[in-house]
Amino acid sequence: MTARAVQHALRTISSPTKAKSSAWFFKTGPGQYGEGDQFIGVTVPEQRVIAKKFQELSLIEIQKLLASTVHEDRLTALFILVGQYQRAKRTNAEKQFVTLYLDERQHINNWDLVDSSAPYILGDWLVTHPDERTILAKLAGESSIWSKRIAILATASFIKNREFEPTLRLAEQFLSEHHDLMHKATGWMLREIGKKDQPTLAAFLEKHAAAMPRTMLRYAIEKFSPAERQTYLSIKGR
Band (27; pLDDT cuts 50, 70, 90): low
How would residue 106 be classed by pLDDT, with cut points 50, 70 and 90? very high
Percentage of the chain beyond pLDDT 70 is 94
Ramachandran quadrant class, 31 (left: phi over 0; alpha: psi -120 to 50; beta: rest): left
Cα dist. 176→172, 186, 213 in Å? 8, 12, 8
pTM exceeding 0.95:
no
Q: How far is CA 216 from CA 98, 169, 178, 188, 205, in A?
A: 29, 15, 11, 8, 11
The answer to whether residue 15 scores a pLDDT higher than 70 is yes
Domains and their CATH numbers in the chain: 1-112 (1.25.10.90), 118-238 (1.25.10.90)
Q: What is the predicted pLDDT for the residue at 24? A: 67
For residue 19, is it left (φ>0), alpha (ψ between -120 and 50) or beta? alpha
**Residue 236 binned pLDDT confidence (cut-offs 50, 70, 90):** low
pLDDT of residue 29: 45
The pLDDT, as a whole number, for residue 18 is: 86
Q: Running DSSP on this structure, what letter comes out for residue 131?
A: G
User: How do residues 107-132 score in pLDDT, each as one tens digit?
Assistant: 999 999 999 999 999 999 999 999 99
State the pLDDT at residue 20.
84
Q: Give the model's pLDDT for residue 95.
A: 94
* pLDDT tens, residue by residue, 59-94: 999 999 999 999 999 999 999 999 999 999 988 899
